Amino acid sequence: MYNEEDDLFARTMSGVFQNIEYMCSMKGQHNGLWGKDGWKNIVVCVISDGRAKINPRTRAVLTALGAYQHGVARQKVNDKKVTAHIYEYTTKVGIQIKRGVVETRPGMEVPVQLLFCLKEENQKKINSHRWAIQAFGEALQPSVVCLLDAGTRPGKDSIYQLWRAFELNPKCAGACGEIKAMLDGGKKLLNPLVATQNFEYKMSNILDKPMESAFGFISVLPGAFSAYRFIALQNDKKGEGPLEKYFDGEKHHLDAGIFTKNMYLAEDRILCFELVAKRNSSWVLTYVSSATGETDVPEQMVELIKQRRRWLNGSFFAAVYALVHFYQIFRSSHSMLRKMMFLIEFAYQAIIFLDPWHIVTSPITR
């Protein structure tokens, strides 16, 4: 998260807590992995991008949960600059939103293991993912890493549904659910911009994602709500692999060319391609329709244009990258049938890629 308001943070955390409670209620399933002590297998990691940027009210919510202590952080220790401040706590304090006000809910039946990382400087989202995967992930060695943006509310069992996709398919490297526009009981549909985006999301979730999932390659797993198998993300012994390409975007923000800078506006698309084309591996990506996540969509034209300008540039150049490097799937361990399916999908995507050049306007979906 960056500087999100407390209600956006609480919306996400309450959804995460509900999912943990749901998984702990599944007694006697999955060889005892879930059940009464299932919470011990889950660590909720909150990463905030910049100590000076975090919203004071959000910081107060973290304090109420026990995951933050004011006045402890320092810019320097022994004359060395501090990179991040890490707080750990196992809380039994829940969180809820009533009439737009964030409230704590003491006495939760299921404890939650919280790990809060407050970065000293603002170093952008991709650096936060590096902390989550290459710092805490390396220490915890999780089987699955689920990514959530602050403000996205997962359904009460959505995280479990994503985890189940990995359990059912050992070759699944990444999975995503259905991203829904938050409609406030349908009231926001009166806004034409919201109604249009809602229709766009629905069409993507009904047509695009299921079709791509059937072929095994989803062009983008939304960073707002997706999950990855930790082993699949790892680089090889030479340091080459999905994470190497993914985190290249962190280094290219200053000296890179126009193509690379634009391509890494959609770094999640690069990661998806690199997972499927990983050398000597046969990973696939999956869409899970039963896993849902609600998020706010722009309600003003200015906000929408800013968002789509970023999406358009990123998706265009990332699509070019994937199409130009399609041959890399032949270095993977996929069966010949699967490789042929990928080629068919790439041919389809090439047609979709060229189509907007022949029409006046075209929606860009993620």
Of 113, 148, 115, the residue nearest 4 (C-alpha): 148
Do 9 and 41 fall into the same domain? yes
Do 116 and 130 fall into the same domain? no
3-state DSSP call for residue 43?
strand
Q: 3-state DSSP helix/strand/coil percent for the chain, to nearest 5?
A: 50, 20, 35
Do 19 and 157 fall into the same domain? no
Do 14 and 133 fall into the same domain? no
Query: pLDDT tens across 268-308, in order?
Result: 888 999 999 999 999 999 999 999 999 999 999 999 998 88
**Per the structure, how many domains does the chain have?**
2
Do 88 and 213 fall into the same domain? no
Query: pLDDT tens across 231-257, in order?
Result: 999 998 888 889 998 888 777 656 777
Q: Which of 66, 96, 122 is at the close of a domain?
A: 122
CA neighbours within 13 Å on the CB side: how many for 159?
Answer: 27
Q: Range with the lowest mean pLDDT among 10-14, 152-156, 307-311?
A: 307-311
Contacts of residue 133, Cβ cutoff 8 Å, sequence gap at least 6: 145, 230, 233, 243
Contacts of residue 292, Cβ cutoff 8 Å, sequence gap at least 6: 154, 155, 158, 177, 178, 179, 180
Q: What is the CA radius of gyration of the chain?
A: 21
pTM of the model: 0.90
Query: What is the phi-psi region of residue 287: left when phi exceeds 0, alpha when psi lies from -120 to 50, beta otherwise?
Result: beta
| Mean pLDDT along residues 185-193 | 91
CA 293 to each of CA 117, 155, 201: distance values in angstroms, whole numbers, following the listed order? 24, 6, 12
Q: Which of 67, 89, 122 is at the close of a domain?
A: 122
Do 223 and 131 fall into the same domain? yes
Do 91 and 183 fall into the same domain? no
Do 314 and 190 fall into the same domain? yes
Query: What is the phi-psi region of residue 298: left when phi exceeds 0, alpha when psi lies from -120 to 50, beta otherwise?
Result: beta
Q: Which domain holds residue 270?
A: 124-366
Kindly report the CA angle at 279 between 209 and 220, in degrees rounded to 5? 20
Q: Residues in the chain, how many?
A: 366
- The pLDDT value recorded for residue 362 is 53
Do 113 and 134 fall into the same domain? no
Residue 286: CB atoms within 10 A of its CB come to 23
Do 23 and 74 fall into the same domain? yes
Query: pLDDT tens across 72-129, in order?
Result: 888 888 888 999 999 999 999 988 888 888 888 887 889 999 999 999 998 888 899 9
CA distance 352 to 207: 14
Of 220, 222, 242, 244, the residue nearest 233 (C-alpha): 242
Do 297 and 337 fall into the same domain? yes
74-82 long-range contacts (CB < 8 A, ≥24 apart) are 75/120, 81/120, 82/120
Q: Which of 103, 122, 141 is at the close of a domain?
A: 122
CA 10 to each of CA 32, 105, 314: distance values in angstroms, whole numbers, following the listed order? 30, 12, 30
The CATH number of whichever domain residue 197 belongs to comes to 3.90.550
Return the active site residues.
268
Do 310 and 271 fall into the same domain? yes
